[in-house]
Amino acid sequence: MKRIQSNPDTLLCSEEIRFSIDEIFFEGFQKEYEKDVFCVRIIPDIDSKYFPPFHLRNFRVTADLLDRDFFNAHMAKFAEKVDPKHDQFAALIRQGGYYCFERGALKPDIFKKPSVVTDVEIPVLEKGLKNPLDRFKAVVGREQVEDINEVTGTRSQRVICEKLYVYCFNVGQGDSLLILTPAGNAYLIDVNIYSNDCLEIFINNVQEILRSHNLSSSAIKAFIITHKHLDHIRGADQLLIDGRLSFEYFLINQGYPHYTLAVDRLLAAARDNIPKWVDIKSPTQFIDGEVVFSITNPQHDIAPDINDSSIVACIKYRDNMVYLTGDAGHSILSEQMIVPSTNSHSLLKVSHHGSRTGTNQGVVDLVKPTHAFISAGESANFKHPHKEALICLKGAETKVSKKVKQTVKYIVTGSSIFSSIGDQWVQTTF
């Protein structure tokens, strides 16, 4: 194969290019002549603190290079299934896989549209390369917690406020939420921090929120990671290393095999800065005063698509429900979100940034949201939220982060839910 004398991509200009695959997706490439083409998002093995979007790269592959189970699981989320033209699935390209190739071994425009990698080029990838990032596979915190109800100790019935608060941050194409219970416990769910400036803004916002509720400005009961995609953990290691926020518990689906540089750094930072870990690998429940957290996903088996490994939580406070969905697909949510809403007010954190794969009419009929929040950025690849999801949500008061561009605060009283935007101490600019 002819070698390329120069590589216009200076970020990937070393003689040997190493990377891990963070995500494989179909959305955005649905023209008739591209129905068996998937997009692969990679995290280069480079020295990057946050892996902002401009440090990532995409390339496109034909469906026969994927794993059959992944393809079937992913395409089942679309109303119209798309069958590949190929009889065999090579399973060469997989989420969390680690790859290496010599510069010039592939076509020079691999990272540019409309180039598509086929089985002609793929043998140059080292299929059996050992992933050096799986060294934290068995790492746990200083104390592994088996009983999740230990998170809230003796289930204290102390009441600081008669309301549950849900703060949905504007973090671009990613997720991040802060929940404050009536008992005064704070739970941070996912982060997507792009830079040192964003880290400073984020920490200041969280601390101002905590102070406004007369809580310690540093104490967070638990840090919950719904799943290991970069847009849900970006900058998490820097947040932990910073130290201004302290976390007592770390909740994650630890066993899902997705080892990228970002996951590597998160687990290392969590090991050193969060004393107690809870491995969320199956449905469970814990109680915080009058608030009941029912975790209905993940199930026991490893999902073919990492999005479907998302921790899904149904939070009940008196007569209100709050649904946290991560990036789980609508089939998972419909089948396993087993706490349907029977109340007059419920809040849905819409799955997968408003993707058509996360929300359908079945999910909406189950949840019956009066309020919905969509965390989505300006990504040209995804174009979230999708109109199909918005149509399903037409009966709910729906807020989209990239439109409001500020933190949305939801006040859950136990009988009603109210929202507000624009409190000056929670504004964000990223």
CB 284 within 8 A of CB 148: yes
Domain CATH code at residue 288: 3.60.15.10
Longest dimension (CA), the chain: 71
* Residues 268 and 323 reside in one and the same domain: yes
CB 199 within 8 A of CB 236: no
* Residues 149 and 125 reside in one and the same domain: no
CB 54 within 8 A of CB 33: no
* Residues 343 and 374 reside in one and the same domain: yes
1 located within any domain: no
Q: pLDDT 10s per residue in the chain (430 long)?
A: 333 344 456 666 777 788 899 999 985 555 555 667 899 999 998 889 999 999 999 988 888 888 889 988 888 887 655 555 556 788 888 898 888 777 666 666 777 777 787 765 554 455 445 666 565 555 666 788 888 888 886 555 677 888 999 999 999 999 999 999 999 999 999 999 999 999 999 999 999 999 999 999 999 999 999 999 999 999 999 999 999 999 999 999 988 889 888 998 999 999 999 999 999 999 999 999 999 999 999 987 888 999 999 999 999 999 999 999 999 999 999 988 888 777 779 999 999 999 999 999 999 999 999 999 999 998 777 889 999 999 999 999 999 999 999 999 999 999 999 999 865 434 333 3
CB 164 within 8 A of CB 182: yes
Q: How many residues does the chain have?
A: 430
* Residues 46 and 181 reside in one and the same domain: no
Q: Which helix (H) or strand (E) holds 108?
A: none
C-alpha span between 414 and 61 (Å, rounded): 49
CB 83 within 8 A of CB 5: no
pTM of the model: 0.91
Structure tokens, 388: 């199909």
* Residues 338 and 226 reside in one and the same domain: yes
Residues 6+ apart with CB under 8 A from 334: 360, 362, 363, 366
* Residues 146 and 60 reside in one and the same domain: no
Q: Which of 89, 104, 130 is the last residue of a domain?
A: 130
> Sign of the C-alpha dihedral, residues 425, 427, 429, 430?
positive
Structure tokens, 295: 């975790």
> Sign of the C-alpha dihedral, residues 268, 274, 276, 281?
negative
Report the Cα–Cα distance between both ends of the chain, in Å, rounded.
44
Structure tokens, 212: 């406004």
Residue showing tokens 């406004």: 212
267 located within any domain: yes
Residue showing tokens 């996903």: 297
Q: Which domain holds residue 61?
A: 10-130
